[in-house]
């Protein structure tokens, strides 16, 4: 299924959970604070901006934010919070689309595993190259991404339960040969005997593979932490926030040539 079909009106309408989950202050607050610091007074570009979960509070802190988003319904949801003048958005693929002002951004960022929505390794490399095309010399590309949990797979099984509770259950099914995983989210509706199902396909990326993608696009790893609070990244970490940086000045050559 194409990403445009997955992130439809229904998905956009149920995406926001104000004050809870990934919208909880203790989850969202540190991410926004860190990104504001990394923008360092410059402009920021969010790939897969979605409904503006991060962009809206980041803009409220005085950072000029632009977005790229594939799903029109997600952008329409964002427009209930901020207009085009406040947060401009380009409809398109984050691996190839060009935002106004390419080459001047100080920060490009991708949060909540969004790079894994690109289904091939080549598309993921193109995403790094597109970030490089949008950044000014010395600019940063920030990625928040989960660490694949294939070590949790029981013998001869392909699924890992990642959420279980009164409200529903989620499990990930892995194809380790192709590095593909499908997240299946079953949400129980009170008073009904059926569950609502949302499925999202991903291509998972190991941290070392991500670093190689960055090198191919001209980036160097500046830092990697286990979370937005700056926790130490270890072999037991379930996710990471990785900051990549382009060279400064004359050493910076936009990957893949100049933006069109």
What pLDDT, in 10s, does the model give residues 115-156? 999 999 999 999 999 999 999 999 999 999 999 988 888 888
Check residue 232 and report its DSSP letter: B
Give tens-digit pLDDT for 196-222: 888 889 999 999 999 999 999 999 999
Q: Which tokens sit at 130?
A: 């597109």
pTM value?
Answer: 0.90
The secondary structure element, H or E, covering residue 140 is strand 135-146
Q: Which tokens sit at 99?
A: 């935002």
Burial of 69 from C-beta contacts in 10 A (0-12 / 13-18 / 19+):
buried
Q: What is the mean pLDDT of the chain?
A: 90
Which residues contact residue 151 at a Cβ distance below 8 angstroms, ignoring those fewer than 6 apart? none
Coil, helix or strand for 7?
coil
Cα separation of 6 and 77, whole Å? 15
pLDDT at 256 over 60: no
Cα separation of 142 and 193, whole Å? 42
Q: What is the 3-state secondary structure (H, E, C) of 79-130?
A: CCCCCCCCCCEEECCCCCCCCCCCCCEEEEEECCCHHHHCCCHHHHHHHHHH
Measuring CA to CA, how many Å separate 43 from each of 10, 38, 94? 31, 10, 17
Check residue 177 and report its DSSP letter: T
Tell me if 39 sits within 8 A of 107, measured CB to CB. Answer: yes
Mean pLDDT of 99-103: 97
Give tens-digit pLDDT for 168-207: 899 989 999 999 999 888 888 777 778 888 888 999 999 9
Burial of 216 from C-beta contacts in 10 A (0-12 / 13-18 / 19+):
middle
């Amino acid at each position: 299924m194409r990403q445009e079909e997955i992130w439809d009106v229904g998905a956009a309408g149920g995406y926001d959970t104000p004050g809870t989950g990934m919208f909880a202050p203790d989850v969202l607050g540190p991410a926004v604070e860190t990104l504001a610091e990394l923008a360092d007074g410059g402009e920021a570009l969010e790939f897969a901006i979605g409904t503006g979960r991060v962009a809206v509070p980041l803009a409220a802190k005085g950072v000029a934010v632009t977005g790229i988003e594939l799903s029109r319904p997600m952008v329409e949801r964002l427009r209930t919070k901020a207009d085009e003048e406040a947060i401009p958005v380009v409809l398109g693929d984050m691996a190839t689309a060009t935002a106004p002002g390419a080459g001047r951004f100080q920060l490009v960022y991708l949060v909540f595993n969004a790079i894994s929505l690109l289904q091939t390794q080549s598309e993921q490399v193109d995403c790094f190259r597109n970030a490089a095309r949008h950044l000014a010399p010395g600019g940063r590309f920030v990625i928040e991404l989960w660490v694949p949990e294939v070590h949790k797979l029981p013998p001869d099984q392909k699924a890992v339960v990642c959420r279980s509770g009164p409200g529903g259950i989620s499990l990930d099914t892995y194809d380790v040969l192709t590095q593909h995983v499908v997240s299946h989210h079953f949400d129980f509706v009170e008073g009904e005997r059926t569950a609502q199902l949302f499925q999202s396909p991903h291509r998972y990326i190991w941290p070392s593979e991500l670093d190689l993608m960055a090198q191919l696009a001209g980036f160097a790893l500046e830092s990697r932490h286990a979370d937005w609070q700056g926790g130490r990244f270890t072999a037991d970490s379930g996710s990471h926030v990785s900051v990549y940086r382009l060279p400064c000045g004359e050493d910076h050559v936009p990957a893949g040539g100049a933006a069109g």
